Amino acid sequence: MNYVLLFLLGCLSVTTATGRWMLLDHAGSRRRKAREEERRIVTPTCVDVPNNMLICRNMEYSLMKMPNILGHDTIKEARTEADIWLPLVDSKCDADTSLFLCSIFAPVCVPEMTEMVLPPCRELCEEVQKSCSPTLATFGFVWPEMFECSKFPPASSYMCVDRRSPRRVTTTAGPPRIVREPHPSAQNEETLNNNSTDDYDECDVCDQSVEEYMESNKAKIDLVCSSGIVIKIKVKRVVYKANDIHLMAKGKKVRIFKANNEQKSVFNANNKMVITLKNAVSCNCDIEEGRRRTYFLVTGFLLNDEVYATYVHPWTQNAKRYARELKRRCRDNN
């Protein structure tokens, strides 16, 4: 009996040691991956497109060039900046939005020609801009300067990524052009063409009743269901800055009706959250500072740990019903 017991104890020790080794190996692998993503890359190099670079999840290539067209010199920086544009991809404003963004943040890399960059063709940029600018405008943004289409070569003159057939590289007899733009520090604040914003009212974010908003903003609601959030917050402070209104809230006190796991982790990890209402200073928003009713319903998008609101309304019975209805609608759409 003693031999059997010793044998079983020995097996248990080996199993336990193996399990610990596997856990340590997994933790070490994660640390190595994190270090690799944070390593600065100065010399043009081909690296694997990260699996968690979601905007490029459907691309048909596996190697990207670093530094990229925007001058990002770490994989983490490129991935983090690219993730900001995931709501635009999820909006399906253009069939080639992912192709355009990936050709900038994770440009195709050919190991034998690491010095060469394949930028998006100007025509690809212009078509995506035309299709997606109204979607950006819906949330108070303009087409950013770092995506200025005139910076990119025309398909007729250079080697570039074209939209005419998805994931196609257009080449011509002329020499390839290497496009390298510095990382921009600010967005272009020029006004969009009026034709792209005819149906957009910046004040819809806060001056409509719940019933009016649900009736007239189906596209926004569908987009929130796709990649946005629905939350209840307690506002501690209101800040007016330039043309924007910023609501200061506690992230850990947020009640979540709709969010994915990554978004939930951001709320749980941040004691302070900022909810931004773009270009809403002149609107008739019912968010006076210092009053007793400080709870609000918020729908919007989480970008760089900040919420950009698509709709804000004091927490009333109607708002409560809307939050539950939106939670159900989003679940049914998935």
Does residue 32 register a pLDDT over 50? yes
Range 53-63 average pLDDT: 86
Tell me which of 291 and 332 has the higher pLDDT.
332
Cα distances from 111 to residues 70, 108, 171, 172, in angstroms, run: 20, 10, 18, 21
117-142 exposure pattern, b = at least 16 Cβ within 10 A, e = fewer: bbbbbbbbbbbbbbbbbbbbbbbbbb
Query: In angstroms, rounded to a whole number, what is the distance separating the alpha carbons of residues 275 and 188?
Result: 22
- For residue 310, is it within any domain? yes
pLDDT for the residue numbered 5: 44
Does residue 185 register a pLDDT over 60? no
* pLDDT above 90 coverage of the chain, percent: 16
**295 and 163 in a common domain:** no
**211 and 182 in a common domain:** no
Tell me which of 23 and 226 has the higher pLDDT.
226
**207 and 139 in a common domain:** no
Which of residues 160, 191, 222 is at a domain's end? Answer: 191
Query: In angstroms, rounded to a whole number, what is the distance separating the alpha carbons of residues 244 and 305?
Result: 17
pLDDT for the residue numbered 4: 47
- Number of domains making up the chain: 2
Range in 2-6, 241-245, 255-259 the model is least confident about: 2-6
Which of residues 126, 156, 191 is at a domain's end? Answer: 191
**186 and 113 in a common domain:** yes
**277 and 174 in a common domain:** no
Q: Which of 1-10, 220-229, 256-265 has the highest mean pLDDT?
A: 256-265
pLDDT for the residue numbered 91: 83
Tell me which of 25 and 93 has the higher pLDDT.
93
**162 and 295 in a common domain:** no
Q: Which of 124-133, 139-148, 172-181, 246-255 has the highest mean pLDDT?
A: 124-133
Tell me which of 35 and 80 has the higher pLDDT.
80
Indicate which CATH number applies to the domain containing 63. 1.10.2000.10
**213 and 119 in a common domain:** no
Per-residue confidence band for 322, with pLDDT thresholds at 50, 70 and 90: confident
Range 154-174 average pLDDT: 59
* Cα 3 to chain centroid, rounded: 61
**220 and 150 in a common domain:** no
Range 213-231 average pLDDT: 76
Per-residue confidence band for 103, with pLDDT thresholds at 50, 70 and 90: very high
Q: Residue ranges of the alpha helices (H) in the chain? A: 2-38, 75-83, 86-90, 97-105, 122-138, 210-216, 218-227, 261-269, 317-333
Which of residues 159, 191, 223 is at a domain's end? Answer: 191
- For residue 214, is it within any domain? yes
pLDDT for the residue numbered 148: 93
pLDDT for the residue numbered 147: 93
- For residue 104, is it within any domain? yes
**Is the Cβ–Cβ distance between 311 and 299 less than 8 Å?**
yes
Q: What is the mean pLDDT of the chain?
A: 75
- Structural domain including 292 reads 202-333
**pTM exceeds cut of 0.75:** no
Range 133-150 average pLDDT: 86
- For residue 16, is it within any domain? no
Range in 47-56, 138-147, 190-199, 202-211 the model is least confident about: 190-199
**100 and 215 in a common domain:** no
Determine the number of helices (DSSP H) and then strands (DSSP E) in the chain.
Answer: 9, 10
